[in-house]
Structure formats: structure tokens, C-alpha cells
Amino acid sequence: MKLFAIICTRDKAYGAVTQGLLFTLSSFGVNVKIMAGQESIFSAYQKGLDICNADDEDIIILCHDDIQIQSTRPEFIAAVGKCLDKETGIIGVAGTTFLGKDSVWWNHDRWNAGYHRGEVQHVHAEKRHIYTSYYGPHGQVVVLDGLFLAAKKEVWDKIGLTKPTYFTGNWDFYDIHYTTQSHLLGYKNYTVPISIIHKSGGSLVGRDSWLNNREAYEKHTNLPISVSL
């Protein structure tokens, strides 16, 4: 079993955070493919998957370019090893057990009600300090946040990484689409204990392409979707 990571970025040149991520993953024995200067996250991930030339049982990570992994190598390897369970689809660090008709996984009412799983560290945009968003204890979820996703190559092949024809935006709702498809195929998605600092707070949420893809997703998906608590 080999480990691959596909990092997608709009920028043709990447900065210190991405370089640090590349160094960390490489030191963990991960074969990293950086897809720079891309116009669509869907096509970038599909192209990245193709050039990995991976076997079915190899683990492929799809992740943002603005994350910092804090876990040690043994902790990281143990966590992504969850992908090797036969029933496991996609693993990540944050998600929810209930995706409502609003299709917003981080819905605060459901967060307060205990439906969410995992945790992520963020950098406060103004105060510059690091804080932790604790969503809930790790476990099975319906959907996962796209900052870090991992699955066996055969799972990604069954899901398909190309953009659905009903999406107009090139960068939005890919994570909800991928992880929903995994769930609907009968796989079990999970959050796992990988410590990550996310240098972005999701500031692009609410732009037109996000709203358009969200609306299209809701029209083509029978919501709500949930797993038992």
C-alpha cells in the first residue's frame, strides 16, 4: 500500500504554507502531486488521480494548499489507515452525521445539537491567534469538509472526481458531492484524529458560484441524509 496526496491550487507559484505541507507529507512517505495554476478543482483532482498511477488499495489524499499538519508521522499513518477497512469510503477531519435540506454541513443549530464530528484548528483573521473548532467526537458521518479527504484509489474511481454536469462553479461543493456519493454507494465515511491547522476560514462561502452549486446540489440530491447517532 502506497500513499499519495493531490494538492490543488489556483496559483502557479505556491507559498510557504504549501511548501511546508509538501515537506511534511513527503517526510511521512507520501508521494505528493501539486496541481498548480488550475481552473477547476474537479478536473485537477481527476488529473492528479490519473498521474498517480496508483493501485486500487493505495490511499489517495485530496487536500487544500493552506493547511498545516500537526500530527506526528505515526499518528498520521494510523489515522489514514482507516481507509483500508473494507467498509470505509472517505475519511477526513470534520463533518456531520446529518445533512439537512440547507446542505450546509456546519449548520450551527445541528452543531449545538451534537450532530457534528471532528475538529480543526483555525487562524483568527484579525487577532492572528490559533483557535480550535471542536465539532464533536470522531466517528461515522454522512459528509466531510474538503480541507482534507482520503480514500483508497478504488473508492475515488467508483465515486468519480469529474464535475457533475449540473454544477456551474469550478471550485465549490466538490466535498459535499464526493462524500455524499461515497455514502450513497454504501460506504461509511469517518472523521479521524489528524491535527490540522487551516489557514483559511472559508471566506469564499457565499459567493455566486458557491450559491449556484449549492442550489444545483439540493435539486439533484434527496435531502436530508443522515447516519444514526
pLDDT of residue 9: 84
Sign of CA dihedral 134, 135, 141, 142: negative
Q: Diameter of the chain by CA atoms? A: 45
pLDDT of residue 111 exceeding 60: yes
Instruction: Report pLDDT digits (tens) over 29-45.
Output: 999 999 988 889 999 99
Counted domains in the chain: 1
pLDDT of residue 11: 78
Instruction: Report pLDDT digits (tens) over 127-143.
Output: 578 999 999 999 999 99
Instruction: Report pLDDT digits (tens) over 113-129.
Output: 999 999 999 987 665 78
**103-83-141 Cα angle (round to 5):** 25
Q: Of 119, 138, 101, whose CA–CA distance to 196 is shortest?
A: 119
pLDDT of residue 174 exceeding 70: yes
What average pLDDT does the chain have?
A: 93
* Domain span at 203: 3-226
Decide: 80 and 59 in contact? Cβ < 8 Å.
yes
Write the CATH number for 34.
3.90.550.10
